[in-house]
Chains A and B, each alone.
Chain A
Amino acid sequence: MRRPTTATEAYAWHRAYVAGQNPPQHDGEPQCGWFKARLIKGGPWVEARIWIEREIEGNGELACPEEYRCEVDGMRRDAYRMWTYLTAISKAEYDALLHRRLMIPEMQASMAKLDLVAVPILPT
């Protein structure tokens, strides 16, 4: 059986990206981390994250293969398909985005194009 991937290994790509090191990014090779995405062109940012799901036995080894899981706008999505459309952000930015989506009602309609003309965005 394989040993589970450590958090340091799983989030290495995300850490390097956020640090501005421009790590390689390939289609079909998702990486764990926090992201933002637009579900439609001109739509609001929605939060997204990718993590690894696995079962670990008592001896610390994997009970089954590790699987990438992805959640975009609170819904489970295919990590391999969504990976291309995600922009990595820091955890702090991810939390701020979640908060902002609660504060700005227009951002809650994730499948509607944002109309910034309809309601002015205020400083707070």
Chain B
Amino acid sequence: MSDQSNLPPRDHNAPPEGALPLPVMPGEATPEQVERAQQAAWAATKHEEDALQAFDMMKQAELSAHVAVFCDAAGKWLDIKIVESAEQAERLTDFVTGARGLSKRVEDARKDEKKRWDDLGAEVQTAFTPLTTKLTKIAESMKKMQGVWLIQEANRMKAEKAGAERKAREVREAAEKAAAEAEARNDISGQVEAEAALIAAGKAEKLASKPVKSQVGSATGGGRKMSLRKLRTAQIDNLNLAFAYFRNHAEVREVLNRLANQAVRAGDLDEKNASTFGMSIIETESAA
């Protein structure tokens, strides 16, 4: 046996009595924990032979067990509430590194599982998107053609309506004039006839003033009726005035904040020039 007399006592490395409790490092989930999680995952599946599994349940269960262990450890870390020693801080660094490592493993597994679906999805997109694009283009072109016809029809109907209104007005004015003349010469028969003509003219005027709508029905009966639709949009002519109008909207502040953060990161905006543009640079620190 070798001489161990010059070695330090066995408990030289043990923490002193009354020292701060140190949270345990989580480490890997034990094989028992992994097996239990996998058995639970297997029990939860439908066991249909031809059932299409979205992902590898066993792999997910294993990772889930590891995550559960890290969650427990995180709870222990939160129990101590505050880091009180350098050693605790160093252990915390390792714990965070471990959690990040596990997060990467989970993320890699997720990407790996999702990739085959993404690839299949991309194939579906490649196969179908051109078809819908073509049909959308067809609909757009045809709607444009139909729009030209509808506008032409609307103009024709408007002109017809104006003509009918003018004619009805002239008839009414003539009837009014005839009624006045008949009244002036005490012609009862003429008055009655003029009143009847006036009623007829009023009806014709009312009919002519009816709003007209340009629309195209279906030739076969199976299609949906098409008509002109008004779409009202705004065009910004004076950006400053438009900004003044919307300045109190939360979205405007969000957009400006995002642009300002980009400018700060790019170095275009700093302590020297920020105040010129009504901004200030705020520095906050967090562990990373």
Contact code string B207-218 (vs A, CB < 8 Å = 1, else 0): 100100000001
B222 on the A face (CB < 8 A): yes
Once bound together, how far apart are the Cα atoms of A32 and B220, in whole Å? 24
User: A114 to B210, Cβ gap below 8 A?
Assistant: no
A65 on the B face (CB < 8 A): no
Interface contact tally, CB-CB below 8 A? 32
Q: Chain B residues in contact with chain A, CB under 8 A?
A: 207, 210, 218-223
Counting chain A residues whose Cβ lies within 8 A of the other chain, the interface size class is 10 to 19
- Smallest CB separation, A58 vs chain B (Å): 39
User: A45 to B221, Cβ gap below 8 A?
Assistant: yes
Once bound together, how far apart are the Cα atoms of A38 and B219, in whole Å? 12
User: A114 to B207, Cβ gap below 8 A?
Assistant: no
Residue of A nearest to B218 (CB): A45
Once bound together, how far apart are the Cα atoms of A62 and B225, in whole Å? 45
User: A38 to B220, Cβ gap below 8 A?
Assistant: no
User: B219 to A100, Cβ gap below 8 A?
Assistant: yes
- Smallest CB separation, B160 vs chain A (Å): 10
* Pairs of residues from A and B, 5 with the lowest C-beta to C-beta distance, nearest first: A114-B222, A45-B221, A44-B221, A116-B222, A44-B220
Residues of A within 8 A of B219 (CB): 100, 104, 121
Residue of B nearest to A38 (CB): B221
User: B220 to A116, Cβ gap below 8 A?
Assistant: yes
Q: Which of B210, B221, B223 gathers the greatest number of chain A CB atoms within 10 Å?
A: B221
A42 on the B face (CB < 8 A): yes
Which label, helix, strand, loop or mixed, suits the secondary structure of the B interface?
A: loop
A20 on the B face (CB < 8 A): yes
Once bound together, how far apart are the Cα atoms of A115 and B220, in whole Å? 10
Once bound together, how far apart are the Cα atoms of A44 and B207, in whole Å? 32
- Smallest CB separation, A97 vs chain B (Å): 9
User: B207 to A43, Cβ gap below 8 A?
Assistant: no
Residue of A nearest to B221 (CB): A45
What are 5 A-B contacts defined by CB distance under 8 Å?
Answer: A36-B221, A44-B222, A45-B218, A116-B222, A116-B223
Once bound together, how far apart are the Cα atoms of A101 and B227, in whole Å? 24
Residues of B within 8 A of A50 (CB): none
**Known contacts A104-B220, A114-B220; 17 further A-B pairs (Cβ under 8 A):** A20-B207, A21-B207, A36-B221, A42-B222, A43-B222, A44-B220, A44-B221, A44-B222, A100-B219, A106-B220, A107-B220, A107-B221, A113-B222, A114-B221, A114-B222, A116-B220, A121-B223
Residue of A nearest to B224 (CB): A116
Within A95-110, which residues are at the interface with B (CB < 8 Å)? 100, 104, 106-107
User: A43 to B210, Cβ gap below 8 A?
Assistant: no
Residues of A within 8 A of B222 (CB): 42-44, 113-116
- Smallest CB separation, A119 vs chain B (Å): 11
Residues of A within 8 A of B223 (CB): 116, 121
- Smallest CB separation, B232 vs chain A (Å): 29
Residue of B nearest to A115 (CB): B222
Residues of A within 8 A of B210 (CB): 20
- Smallest CB separation, B8 vs chain A (Å): 88
- Smallest CB separation, B142 vs chain A (Å): 11
Residue of B nearest to A104 (CB): B220
- Smallest CB separation, A35 vs chain B (Å): 13
